[in-house]
């Protein structure tokens, strides 16, 4: 039984470029959340999607966008990359929006902006 899968695992981009990160939740899970984890800090909430609709947004600029597909997989897009966008991007899935059983995180995508 596959867990939360994220791709790619590592990515190097140049400032100003655009990037798309992908996440497949655990089978049966309908909620996907995205977090940014800068080295040495806790994850910061970016978005939550449930049943293909945005249900929550963190304090991130409009350069960050996301969507969820009918099969509940999700993409996170970041435009006009800045050096400060370098981080581990984590996807978390749960059966519903407000999980009493915690969230299952994927292994993340390590993004480096040079």
Partner 1 sequence: GQQVMQIPQYQHVQEGEDFTTYCNSSTTLSNIQWYKQRPGGHPVFLIQLVKSGEVKKQKRLTFQFGEAKKNSSLHITATQTTDVGTYFCAGKTGGTSYGKLTFGQGTILTVHP
For position 86 contacting partner 1 by CB under 8 A, the verdict is: no
For position 102 contacting partner 1 by CB under 8 A, the verdict is: yes
Q: Which of 5, 22, 52, 58 binds partner 1 (CB under 8 A)?
A: 58
Contact 8, 108 (CB under 8 A): no
Q: SS3 for 28?
A: coil
Instruction: Tell how strand 87-94 and strand 104-105 pair up.
Output: antiparallel
Q: Which of 13, 52, 55, 67 binds partner 1 (CB under 8 A)?
A: 55
CA separation for the pair 9, 31 (Å, rounded): 21
Q: Which one of 12-20, 53-61, 69-77, 79-87 is the stretch in contact with partner 1 (CB under 8 A)?
A: 53-61
Q: SS3 for 83?
A: helix
Q: Which of 23, 24, 25, 43 binds partner 1 (CB under 8 A)?
A: 43
CA separation for the pair 81, 65 (Å, rounded): 13
For position 45 contacting partner 1 by CB under 8 A, the verdict is: yes
Q: Which of 48, 72, 87, 113 binds partner 1 (CB under 8 A)?
A: 48
Residue with Cβ nearer partner 1 (24 or 33): 33
Question: For the chain, how big is the Rg over CA atoms in Å?
Answer: 13
For position 94 contacting partner 1 by CB under 8 A, the verdict is: yes
């Amino acid at each position: 039984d596959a867990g939360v899968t994220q791709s790619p695992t590592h990515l190097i981009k140049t400032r100003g470029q655009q990037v798309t990160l992908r996440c497949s939740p655990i089978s049966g899970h309908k909620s996907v959340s995205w977090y940014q984890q800068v080295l040495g800090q806790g994850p910061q909430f970016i978005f939550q999607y449930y049943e293909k609709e945005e249900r929550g947004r963190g304090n991130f600029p409009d350069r960050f966008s996301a969507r969820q597909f009918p099969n509940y997989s999700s993409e996170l897009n970041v435009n006009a990359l800045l050096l400060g966008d370098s981080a581990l991007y984590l996807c978390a899935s749960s059966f519903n929006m407000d999980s009493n059983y915690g969230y299952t995180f994927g292994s993340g995508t390590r993004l480096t902006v040079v």
